[in-house]
Amino acid sequence: MSSSDSTVSRRGFLTAAGGAAVTAALAGCSGNGTDDQDNGDSEDSTLLRYGRGSHSTTLDFQNSTSGEVAKVTENLYDKLIDFVPGEATLREGLATDYSMDGQTVSLTLREGVTFHDGEEFTAQDFVATYRRFTDPDYEYYAGDDYVSAYGGFTLGNWIEDIQVDGDYEMTIELSQQYAPFFRNLAMFPSAVHSEASIEEYGTDLQSNANGTGPFELETLDDGNEQIRLSANEDYWGEGPHVDELVFVTVGENSTRAQSLGSGELDIIDGLGAQSAQQVEGFDNASLERKEGINIGYMAFNLSSIEQFQDRRVRQAISYAIDTESIVEEIYAGVAVQASQPLPPNLLGYNEDLDPYPYDPDEAQQLLDEAGYGDGFSFELATFQNPRAYNPSPLQTAETVASNLGEVGIDVEINQQSFGPFLEYTAEGRHDACFLGWMTDNADPDNFAYALLHPQVESDQLTEGQDWVSFDTEGFNTSNRAGWANREYMDLVEQGQRTLDEAEREDLYNQAMQIAHDEAPWVYLDYAEELRGVANRVQNYTVATISGPYLNYVSVE
C-alpha cells in the first residue's frame, strides 16, 4: 500500500486500551482532530509523544535524505555500527567486531538478532540491502528515481566487493583507502533491511517497515501526519522503556511549544528563539541545548541561472545579505554566523575565515564589474517548516529578498512543505534554495564531499566550467549548487584517502578557503540543537549525530 493512503497499519488496530483516544488527542494537538483531548493510554501502558515540525514522507531510509525520515527509521532499524548517544564515538551495533587493514574491512556480526517479523538477521541481509541501494544489476534494485543520493557517497562509491563467510562473517573490499568508512556505516541510510522484505515489498517499504530496531511500526497515519510505533519485546539491545512511541507533526513552533507546556507532548524539536523562550518559562518542562554540528545555507543553482556562474555575482550576493542580522535578530540566541561549509567543531574547519560582512556598496561594485549592475531576478525556494539550521525560513527568505532588492536584484519566494521541496530541489528546478545539513557521522567528508562534490566522472566535466547540470550521469543531487570546482574536488578526494588527522586537517583547510572564496553558497549559520523536554521524561540525550535514541527514554 502506498504512503499516499490515509492510514497504513501493520497490525490493523491499536492494541493498547485507550489507544484510539490517544490518537484522537494527538490529532487534536496537531490541529487535525477534535478539541476533546485525553493525554493517557491505559493505566498499565506508557506512551512517549515526540513533536516535530514536519512529517516523514517515507519509512524507507534508502528513499530520502531527510532528517525527519531518520528520526523515525533510527528507532525502527539498526546499523552495523552506531554512535554512543550524544557523542561522536563509534560503538558496536549489528556488528560486534570490525577492523580495517588498508582497503580490506572485516566484520563479525551479532548472532541471535531477529527482525520484527521473527526472521533471523544474517550477513545476507546486509548484502541485499547494499545491492538494493547501489547496484542497478541487482534484481531488487530500488531504481534510480527511488534511491537517494546517499547511496553513492555513503557506500556505493567505496565498496568494491563483499564476501560472506557463513551467516556472521563479512569481508568488504574498498575501491580505495577511505578514512570515514566506519562512520559511514553508522549513518542512518546504512541501516539494514530484511532480504525477505526487500523481495516481498520492493519500493512499498516506504510504508512497510521491518527492522531489527527497538520499536516496530504500528500505524502510519499520513492524513493526520502521525506515526505510531510499539515496543519490540524481542529487541537485542537496551530498552525500550516505553510501550508506545508516537511522532506527531505540529507545524508552528509556538503551537508545538504550547503543546509541550500543556502536557500533550513529551519531547519537541525544531525550536526557534521565541519558542525556546516559551519552553524556558514552563514549570513542567525544560529547554535542553547542545552545540550543533550543522550548517544552514542558500545554494546558488549554477546550472539554472547564468548570472550565478560568475563568481563575482555570488560574492556580491554574499555581501548583500545581512547574515549577521538574520542570526542575531531572527535566530536570536540559537545560532552564529557561518563562514564556510564545515561547522566549527569539526576537523578541517578553517579558523582563518570570517563570514562575509554586510556591505551593499561592495556588492554593487561587484555586480557592476560582472555586467549586472542593473540587477536581475531569480526564484528562491524554501521550506515552510522549521529546521534546526533555519528555524524561521519564511522570515529569513523575506530578509534575503529585502536585502537583495537594495542592490537591484528581485527575488520571488517559492515556499513549499518539506517533502515536495526536497524533491523539487533535488531535480534542480530551483534557481536558488535554502537548505542545511546536520552531520550524519561527524566527519568533514560528510559535508565537503556529500554537499559540494558533483561525484561525476572526470570526462563529464567541461573545460573552463565550474558547474555541471543536474541531468549529468551520476550527479550527486545533494550538491544543490551543481558546483564542480576541480581544485576543491581534488583536495576533498585527497582528504578521503588520508588517514593522518593532521594531513586531513590541512587538506580540508585549503578546501574551505576555496569554498569561501568561490561562494557556491551564501553561508548563513551554525545552529544549536534545541529540545523541549517534559519533566516526566527520563534518560533523554540530545544527539547531534544519529538518533534520537528513544529506546533509552522512560516516562514517569
pLDDT of residue 333: 81
Map grid coordinates 557517497 to a residue: 153
Domains of the chain: 7-76+213-288+530-555 (3.40.190.10), 81-199 (3.90.76.10), 294-527 (3.10.105.10)
> Buried b vs exposed e over 189-198: b needs ≥16 C-beta within 10 Å?
bbbbbbbebb
pLDDT of residue 26: 54
CA 294 to chain centre: 10
pLDDT of residue 387: 87
Residue 264: strand, helix, or coil:
coil
How far from 38 is each of 130, 205, 321, 335, CA to CA, in Å? 44, 32, 47, 36
pLDDT of residue 458: 84
pLDDT per residue of the chain (556 residues) written in tens, 0 to 9 = 323 333 344 333 232 323 333 334 454 433 333 333 344 444 568 999 999 999 999 999 999 999 999 999 999 999 999 999 999 999 999 999 999 999 999 999 999 999 999 999 999 999 999 999 999 999 999 999 999 999 998 999 999 999 999 999 999 999 999 999 999 999 999 999 999 999 999 999 999 999 999 999 999 999 999 999 999 999 999 999 999 999 999 999 999 999 999 999 999 998 988 899 999 999 999 999 999 999 999 999 999 999 999 999 999 999 999 999 999 999 998 999 999 999 999 999 999 999 999 999 999 999 999 999 999 999 999 999 888 899 899 999 999 999 999 999 999 999 999 889 999 999 999 999 999 999 999 999 999 999 999 999 888 999 999 999 999 999 999 999 999 999 999 999 999 999 999 999 999 999 999 999 999 999 999 999 999 999 999 999 999 999 999 999 999 8
Q: What are the cell numbers at 394?
A: 519564511
Q: How far apart are the first and last CA of the chain?
A: 37
Distance CA 287, CA 550 (A): 17
For 332-385, the pLDDT digits (tens) are: 989 999 999 999 999 999 999 999 999 999 999 999 999 999 999 999 999 998
User: How many of the other CB atoms lie within 10 Å of CB of 280?
Assistant: 12
Closest CA to 337 of 518, 530, 523: 523
Closest CA to 511 of 530, 495, 535: 495
Tell how strand 432-438 and strand 377-383 pair up: parallel
> Contacts from 361-365 at CB under 8 Å and sequence distance 24+?
362/316, 362/319, 363/316, 363/317, 363/319, 363/320, 363/407, 364/316, 364/407, 364/408
Phi (first) and psi of residue 516, to 5 degrees: -65, -50
pLDDT of residue 151: 95
Distance CA 319, CA 211 (A): 48
Distance CA 250, CA 31 (A): 7
Q: What are the cell numbers at 392?
A: 524561521
| Cβ–Cβ under 8 Å, residues 397 and 414 | no
| Cβ–Cβ under 8 Å, residues 206 and 59 | yes
DSSP symbols for 32-53: SS-S-------TT--EEEEEES
Q: What are the cell numbers at 364?
A: 554593487
For 444-472, the pLDDT digits (tens) are: 999 999 999 999 988 899 999 999 999 99
Closest CA to 170 of 236, 81, 82: 81
Tell how strand 244-249 and strand 47-52 pair up: parallel
How far from 103 is each of 164, 167, 491, 497, 553, CA to CA, in Å? 16, 22, 20, 10, 38
Cβ neighbourhood burial of 53 (10 Å; 0-12, 13-18, 19+): buried
Angle at 148 between CA 479 and CA 512, to 5 degrees: 25
Phi (first) and psi of residue 449, to 5 degrees: -90, -45
How far from 184 is each of 197, 202, 436, 473, CA to CA, in Å? 23, 24, 19, 23
pLDDT of residue 43: 53
